[in-house]
Amino acid sequence: MPESISLQVAVDAPAHTSLRAPLTYLGESPLPPGTLVRVPFGTREVTGVVWAGEASTGEPVVDPAVSLRPLRHALTSLPPLSAAWCRLVDFTAAYYQRGIGEVALSVLPPELRKLDDTQVRQRIARLQKALTVRPPGTGVAVIPPGLDAAQTRVLAELRLAQGSAAAPTALLHGVTGSGKTEIYLRAAAEALSQGRQAMVLVPEINLTPQLEARFAERFAGRHIVAMHSGLTPAQRLRSWLAAHLGLADLVLGTRLAVFASMPRLGLIVVDEEHDPSYKQQEGARYSARDLAIYRGRLEGATVLLGSATPSLESWQRADEGRYLRLSMPARIGGGVLPVVRLVDMNAQPKVKGGAALSPPLVAALQQCIARGEQGLVFLNRRGYAPVLHCGDCGWKSGCPNCSAWRVFHKLDRTLRCHHCGFTERVPRACPDCGNLDISPIGRGTERLEEQLAELLTHPDGRPARIARIDADSTRGKGALEAQLGAVHAGEVDVLVGTQMITKGHDFRRITLVAAVNPDTSLFSSDFRAPERLFALLMQAAGRAGRDAAQAAASEMWVQTWHPHHALYAALRRHDFHAFAESQLAERRMAGLPPHSHLALLRAEARTADAARGFLQAASEAAEVTAEAADVTLYPPVPTPIARVANVERMQMLIESPSRQSLQRFLANWLPALHEMRRERVADQRILRWAIDVDPLAI
Check whether residue 351 and residue 475 sit in a common domain.
Answer: yes
Residue 584 domain-assigned? no
The domain boundary, picked from 333, 348, 375, lies at 333
**Which residue range forms the structural domain that includes residue 101?**
5-106
Question: For all residues of the chain together, what is the average pLDDT?
Answer: 90
In the prediction, which pLDDT does 382 show?
86
In the prediction, which pLDDT does 138 show?
53
Check whether residue 370 and residue 497 sit in a common domain.
Answer: yes
Choice among 135-149, 270-284, 376-390 with the minimum mean pLDDT: 135-149
Check whether residue 548 and residue 675 sit in a common domain.
Answer: no
Check whether residue 161 and residue 269 sit in a common domain.
Answer: yes
Residue 80 domain-assigned? yes
Integer Cα distance of 383 and 447 in angstroms: 7
Check whether residue 265 and residue 127 sit in a common domain.
Answer: yes
**3-state secondary structure string, 99-110?**
CHHHHHHHCCCH
Whether residue 594 is predicted with pLDDT greater than 90 in this model: the reply is yes
The domain boundary, picked from 57, 77, 106, lies at 106
Give per-residue pLDDT as tens, 484-523. 888 889 999 999 998 888 877 778 889 999 999 898 888 8
Give which of 309, 333, 311 is closest to 176, Cα–Cα.
Answer: 309
Residue 495 domain-assigned? yes
Integer Cα distance of 456 and 450 in angstroms: 10
More confident residue, 680 or 416: 416
Domain holding 288: CATH number? 3.40.50.300
The CA angle 601-602-608, to the nearest 5 degrees, is 130
- pLDDT category at 137 given cuts 50, 70, 90 is low
Whether residue 394 is predicted with pLDDT greater than 80 in this model: the reply is yes
159 CB contacts (<8 Å, ≥6 apart)? 190
Check whether residue 47 and residue 163 sit in a common domain.
Answer: no
Residue 623 domain-assigned? yes
Residue 411 domain-assigned? no
Give per-residue pLDDT as tens, 150-173. 999 999 999 999 987 788 999 999
In the prediction, which pLDDT does 2 show?
56
The CA angle 667-669-673, to the nearest 5 degrees, is 120
The domain boundary, picked from 579, 611, 643, lies at 579
- pLDDT category at 14 given cuts 50, 70, 90 is confident
Check whether residue 353 and residue 322 sit in a common domain.
Answer: no
CB 345 within 8 A of CB 559: yes
- pLDDT category at 643 given cuts 50, 70, 90 is very high
Check whether residue 307 and residue 264 sit in a common domain.
Answer: yes
Residue 311 domain-assigned? yes
621 CB contacts (<8 Å, ≥6 apart)? 669, 672, 673, 676
Check whether residue 214 and residue 271 sit in a common domain.
Answer: yes
Pairing of strands 36-41, 73-74: antiparallel
In the prediction, which pLDDT does 352 show?
66
Whether residue 98 is predicted with pLDDT greater than 60 in this model: the reply is yes
Give per-residue pLDDT as tens, 42-77. 888 999 999 986 443 334 444 555 688 999 999 999
Give per-residue pLDDT as tens, 290-341. 999 999 999 999 999 999 999 999 999 999 999 999 999 998 888 889 999 9
Q: What are the backbone dihedrals phi and psi of residue 361, each rounded to the nearest 5 degrees, phi first?
A: -70, -40
- H/E element, 533: helix 529-541
Domain holding 602: CATH number? 3.30.70.600
Integer Cα distance of 489 and 505 in angstroms: 14
Check whether residue 372 and residue 513 sit in a common domain.
Answer: yes
In the prediction, which pLDDT does 15 show?
66
Check whether residue 262 and residue 288 sit in a common domain.
Answer: yes
More confident residue, 264 or 505: 264
The burial of 652, by beta-carbon neighbours within 10 Å (0-12 exposed, 13-18 middle, 19 or more buried), is given as: buried
Instruction: Please state, for a pLDDT cut of 70, what percent of the chain lies above it.
Output: 95
Whether residue 673 is predicted with pLDDT greater than 80 in this model: the reply is yes
Check whether residue 155 and residue 57 sit in a common domain.
Answer: no
Residue 436 domain-assigned? no
Pairing of strands 224-227, 250-253: parallel
Choice among 173-182, 265-274, 437-446 with the minimum mean pLDDT: 437-446
Q: How many domains does the chain have?
A: 4
The amino acid at 557? W
Choice among 84-88, 212-216, 547-551, 599-603 with the minimum mean pLDDT: 547-551
pTM for the structure as a whole: 0.92
Can you tell me the mean pLDDT for 208-212? 80
In the prediction, which pLDDT does 59 show?
41
Residue 99 domain-assigned? yes
More confident residue, 467 or 163: 467
